[in-house]
Chains A and B, each alone.
Chain A
Amino acid sequence: MAVCINNLNVWLGSAQILKDINLQFKKQRITAIVGPSGCGKTTLLRSINRTAELEEGFRCSGKILLNGKNIYQSRDVSGIRRKMGLVLQTPVALPLSIKENVIFGARYCRGKNKQELDEINERCLKQAGLWEEVKNKLNKPAAELSGGQKQRLSIARVLAVEPEVLLLDEPCSSLDPASTKVIEELLIQLSRQLTVVLVTHNLFQAQRVAHDTIFMMEGTVVERGPTGVMFSNPQKQETRAFFSGLIW
């Protein structure tokens, strides 16, 4: 079990965002998290990545275990953030060249060995399926890339710090169908090495790529199970209603 969440509660100020979450994300599998807007999916991902605590008024109780160790007891916060790679909803191109974008985090934690950084750059761009498109303009500003390319660049940037878990927060919500397809194929490939957690608004996407699906509502986990079972035979009334488009 790569990531194990026990009795996680999260508050932002006086509002409780996550209530008593118990979940496991398995290695080499894609887990999709679906649910209506504002149900705490993003906060859950950011709590696992330990960036939620940057918000004012963040409080949490319970445990998040990575390979059996509670990440909230670790002193090495940046180490945790690197292991729990997080890709945001909006594709972000940092104001640097394409190559510097990819090695942004690696340069910080690995130092300045140029050859090593070049290797990381090429490996991660290839992994993210972007290498062929950008190999001739690595030193051009990353802002010139298209939305889909920027999102793959974001994934490459996260891969460059060698995460064990890849958390993606609606990575395709601002992309066209072609780019979405590329990213979905990429996720399936990456899941052979990593634990992948995918928050999505697109139920078809969950069906297409996820091994397991979790349905969240109002800060709690309503139902979880293998994707096929969840979609064909949901147990709870709320899940059925959501899947048939009654709750959004």
Chain B
Amino acid sequence: MLELQTQRQLVNLLVKLICLTVSACTTLLLLAIAAFMVAESLPVWSALGPLKIIAGTDWSPLAAPPRLGIGTMILSTLWVALGAVLLSAPLGFAGAIFLAEFAPPWLAGIIRPVLNILTGIPSVVYGFVGAAVLIKFFEVSFNMASGESLFCASLILTVMVLPYIVTNSESALRSVPREYRQAALALGVSKQYLTLRVLLPLAKKGLTGALVLAFGRAAGETMAVLMLAGNTMLLPTSWFSKGEPLSALIALELGTSVVGSAHYQALFAAGLVLLILVICINLFLTLLKRG
């Protein structure tokens, strides 16, 4: 009897230990990645200074001395991602309102799984479709020499982040307590009036959260953006300029850079900037959720 109990205690202890290790590992993993990126990029940070790298707009890593400004890419990333959020926000909110408040159950039952499938499509497929259809469209209808632009990348990103916005906004709307609906509808007001004046203000936090999450996704996306943004090193002056976002820069150049060179380290610096950007967004999201 006693033996059985100690055995049980031992098993309990073991399970606890395993759980602790696993959960600690996930946290450590993030720290390890960050530490690795810092360590790899530290030489260029200290050699050139953060300001020169982040605000610099001249990227010639093979020149002597190498010029490693990634400001152009940071601007491209922000432009592409903010553009995508700008385009997808109205569509996504409208879709979420429709799903949460107006869609008949059978229709919502079709739309929701479709949205889930959309999130699972590999980004290279989106990029491929964009390159084959969107870019052709711009080239043919606007008589452009090449159709790639930040706008194209934003458009494809819009499609990619739309499901996230719809799903998250819908759950934000749904989490508004029933009493508010009941109290408002009992006064004989329409659902539109209820949604605009009561539900949207109450779901404000969740809706903002959906946008922030979408921005994070869009900023980190690589493949589709790489195929559509045009990848020139010029500072983008409009939404329709070409540009090379951070993620595309790393993906394109890491393979050809010499390990340990300033070029290699600068790419890690670019990765670190992207990582910090995304972590900041996530922290902001967490703070938002806590109120």
Contact = CB atoms under 8 A, between A and B. Distances in A.
Interface of A: 49, 51, 54, 77-82, 85-86, 88, 90, 92, 94-96, 104-105, 108-109, 154, 157-158, 161
A214 to B, nearest CB: 21
Given A95-B198, A95-B202, A77 B183 contact: no
Contacts of B182: 51, 88, 92
Contacts of B186: 49, 51, 81, 85-86, 88, 158
A161 B180 contact: no
Given A104-B197, A108-B193, A92 B187 contact: no
Given A94-B197, A95-B202, A104-B197, A54 B184 contact: no
A82 B187 contact: yes
Given A88-B179, A90-B179, A95-B201, A104 B184 contact: yes
Nearest to A79: B188
A154 B190 CA distance: 18
24 contacts: A49-B186, A78-B188, A79-B188, A80-B188, A81-B187, A81-B188, A82-B187, A82-B188, A88-B179, A88-B182, A92-B179, A94-B183, A94-B198, A96-B198, A96-B201, A104-B184, A104-B187, A104-B189, A105-B187, A105-B188, A105-B189, A108-B190, A109-B189, A158-B186
A78 B193 CA distance: 12
A94 B188 contact: no
Contacts of B202: 95
A81 B185 contact: yes
A94 B184 contact: yes
B190 to A, nearest CB: 7
Contacts of B198: 94-96
Nearest to A106: B187
Contacts of A154: 183
A15 B233 CA distance: 68
Contact of A51 (B185, B190, B201): B185
B186 to A, nearest CB: 4
Given A85-B186, A92-B182, A108-B190, 11 more contacts: A54-B185, A78-B190, A79-B188, A81-B187, A94-B180, A95-B202, A96-B201, A104-B187, A104-B197, A105-B187, A105-B188
Contact of B188 (A95, A96, A161): A161
Which DSSP category, helix, strand, loop or mixed, fits chain A's interface? helix
A157 B202 CA distance: 19
Interface string B195-221: 001100110000000000000000000
A157 B185 CA distance: 12
B191 to A, nearest CB: 10
Contact of A161 (B183, B187, B193, B201): B187
> Counting chain A CB atoms within 10 Å of each CB, which of B180, B184, B186, B197 scores highest?
B186
A109 B180 CA distance: 19
A31 to B, nearest CB: 19
A158 B201 contact: no
Contacts of B197: 94, 96, 104
Contact of A157 (B179, B180, B187, B190): B187
A92 B183 contact: yes
A95 B181 CA distance: 12
Contacts of A108: 187-190, 193
Contacts of B183: 88, 92, 94, 154, 157
A49 B187 CA distance: 9
B189 to A, nearest CB: 4
A161 B202 CA distance: 23
B188 A77 contact: yes
Nearest to A108: B189
A88 B202 CA distance: 19
A75 to B, nearest CB: 13
B277 to A, nearest CB: 32
Nearest to A95: B201
A202 B219 CA distance: 58
Contacts of B201: 95-96
B189 A92 contact: no
Contacts of A105: 187-189
B199 to A, nearest CB: 9
A232 B183 CA distance: 36
Contacts of A88: 179, 182-183, 186
A51 B190 CA distance: 12
Contacts of A79: 188
A197 to B, nearest CB: 14
A77 B189 CA distance: 10
Nearest to B183: A92
Interface in B150-197: 179-180, 182-190, 193, 197
Interface string B230-241: 000000000000
A90 to B, nearest CB: 5
